[in-house]
A and B are shown apart, each in its own frame.
Chain A
Amino acid sequence: MKDLNTTIYDKLVEHILENQNKFYRIAYCYVYQKEAALDIIQNAICRALENYPGLKNTNAIKTWFYRILINECLQYLNKCKREVPCEPSELKEDVYYEEAYEPKLEVYQKVCELPEQLKTIVILHYFEQMTLKEISQTIDVNLSTVKTRLYTALQRLKKEMEVEE
């Protein structure tokens, strides 16, 4: 058992070090604030290192860590809802400086404005290239629910884009 734990620990650390930028971007999409996102990363790493012995195999690390990360994000939002400056106007300044109008940014912004449940799925699927099955494992809902949510999310985005136009 010890050996397995050591292997898992090694893999986990490797995974974290390799993907830290991705993790940061995801966290940032939830809180739009550098310090908050960094805090979340830190907490997620601590949480993961505390609980890694519960992992059964190394293949699960990816989805498992995403789950921790997203939970941390949601927890953060719940805890200090009032403090989070999640105004899309600020977001524009933070993410993209040059253009006054940028259609690409607009979609991104719409994604960010989605309710968390839907947003998570869009981010994981389209930004992180995860399969729907992986997503279902990550957020611990069954596959058909993931599909439904994704569909809802896309519908909503489409509608919003049409309204804009």
Chain B
Amino acid sequence: MSKLKDAKEIFDKIEIPKELDQIVTNAIKDHPANKNDIQKYNVKKRNGYVIRRAAAAAAGVLICFTVALNSSEAFAKSIGKLPVIGGLAKVLTVRSYHSSEDNKNISVNVPQIKVDGTDNNQDASTAAAQNQDTSPKDVSQGQTADQANASAGTGAATSEEGTNQFVADINAEINSIVNTYMEDAKKRMQADKDAFLATGGTKEEWAKRDLNINVDYEVKYQQGNLLSLILSADESWYGAYDLKYFYNLDLKNNKKLTLKDILGEDYVTIANDSIIQQMKDKAAQDENIVYWGITDDGKSGIDGFTTVDENTKFYLNKDGKPVVCFDKYEVAPGFMGAQEFVVE
């Protein structure tokens, strides 16, 4: 039957749709039986990248814990020189994980503040020196918790307990914020997925969408007893759910700092004058820049910036100056993004 050979030729020419690869790899990697890492299958393929992508995704949920020690150069120096006043603080990443399901990446770094006055100065300065790095967040894996705890603070037994309690409260608050955010973000992601599938999207298309949840923090200032840190959370597909929490802590007096603590009694006038002046300066330099209520002659009808108060969000920059922060849309049109003003 030579004619059947001809038929085979036709058979072999049946066009393979480009989706096939994806469907096959997805079917394999999505299947619960897939306890194994697909990376093992080093099958040479036309579309090698598909396999690699699948491999990355199929690596599944990978959780790693790191303990990190943060320290600015200034901090490291100060700790080495000064007899320590009060408890010195460190910001550690105690909970950090990255997970990837469905091509959705979740990256979480949860900061926790540690104050410890039990170890001697030498240890502390060594630990800090190891981390002499000007980058505010230096994640050094392999630091043991013990080493991380090796903070200084010999002479401060009196306020120590109060500080510990204060820090524990802050840490609990941070944890609670992160947990709530993660739950909500996952719910939003699920709701989004349901809606996507319900309106005709396929699982494959969903898997192709690149969505991320990030929780991270940045230590802005750390000197003596003062610690300024920003906790931020965002989802890559919903700008509206970005969150920022500002922590400015005085670990000697165990309190959250307000602008008043930094700038004194006159803080409202000082900050307002400075901010309004900066807004005007910026608007004068660039005609596209508008600050509602300040540089628009009231045309927008939006209040925009009025005044700072005790709850105004700010952080301390590396010079220890307060930087007042406004969310996107808070004082200016969205295209200008979030706004920051250093109050000198």
- A residues with a Cβ closer than 8 A to B are 6, 9-10, 13-14, 16-18, 20-21, 24-25, 28-29, 34, 38, 41-42, 45-46, 49-50, 52, 95-96, 103-105, 107-108, 110-111, 122-123, 126-127, 154, 157, 161
The 8 closest A-B pairs by CB, nearest first: A104-B6, A108-B10, A108-B7, A45-B27, A107-B7, A49-B31, A49-B33, A107-B3
Q: Is the CB of A105 within 8 A of B36?
A: no
Contact: A161 with B3, CB < 8 Å? yes
A25 to B5, CA, bound (A): 16
Known: A20-B21, A45-B27, A49-B28. A10 touches B41 (CB 8 A): yes
Residues of B with C-beta under 8 A to A38: 17, 19-20, 23
Residue of A nearest to B3 (CB): A107
The tally of CB-CB contacts under 8 A between chains A and B is 105
**B4: CB under 8 A from chain A?**
yes
Across-interface contacts of B14 in A (CB, < 8 A): 24-25, 28-29, 95
Check if B266 is an interface residue, CB within 8 A of chain A: no
**B16 in the interface (beta carbon within 8 A):** yes
Residue from B10, B17, B20, B43 whose CB has the most chain A CB atoms within 10 Å: B10
Contact with B27, one of A42, A108, A126 (Cβ below 8 angstroms): A42
Where chain B touches its partner, the secondary structure class is helix
CA distance A38 to B27 in the complex (A): 11
Among B6, B12, B25, which residue has its beta carbon within 8 angstroms of that of A103?
B6
| Docked pose: A154 CA to B8 CA in angstroms | 14
A105 to B10, CA, bound (A): 6
B287 at the interface (CB under 8 A from A): no
A102 to B248, CA, bound (A): 80
Are B6 and A108 touching (Cβ within 8 A)?
yes
What are 24 sample pairs from A and B whose C-beta atoms fall under 8 A apart?
A: A21-B16, A25-B14, A25-B16, A41-B27, A42-B24, A45-B24, A45-B31, A46-B27, A49-B28, A49-B34, A50-B31, A95-B10, A95-B14, A95-B15, A96-B10, A103-B3, A104-B7, A107-B4, A107-B6, A108-B11, A126-B7, A157-B3, A157-B4, A161-B3
Given contacts A21-B20, A111-B4, contact A10 B11 (CB under 8 A): no
Contact A123 B11 (CB under 8 A): yes
- Rounded to whole Å, the gap between the CB of B319 and the closest CB of chain A is 58
- Given A104-B3, A104-B6, A104-B9, 9 new contacts (CB under 8 A): A14-B43, A18-B43, A28-B14, A29-B11, A45-B24, A45-B31, A103-B6, A108-B10, A126-B8
Give B171-200 as 1s and 0s: 1 = Cβ < 8 Å from A's Cβ atoms: 000000000000000000000000000000
Q: Determine whether the beta carbon of B13 is less than 8 Å from that of A95.
A: yes
CB neighbours (8 Å) of B45 from chain A are 17
Is B62 engaged at the interface, CB distance under 8 Å to the other chain? no
Given known pairs A25-B14, A46-B31, the reply for A122 and B43 (CB within 8 Å) is: no
Whether B7 lies near A41 (C-beta < 8 A) is no
Q: Which residue of A lies closest to B19 (CB)?
A: A38
Q: Does B324 contact A (CB under 8 A)?
A: no
Whether the pair A126, B24 counts as a contact (CB closer than 8 A) is: no
CB of A64 to closest CB in B, whole Å: 15
B44 to chain A, nearest CB (A): 9
Residues of chain B contacted by A17 (CB below 8 angstroms): 24-25, 28, 41, 43, 45, 51
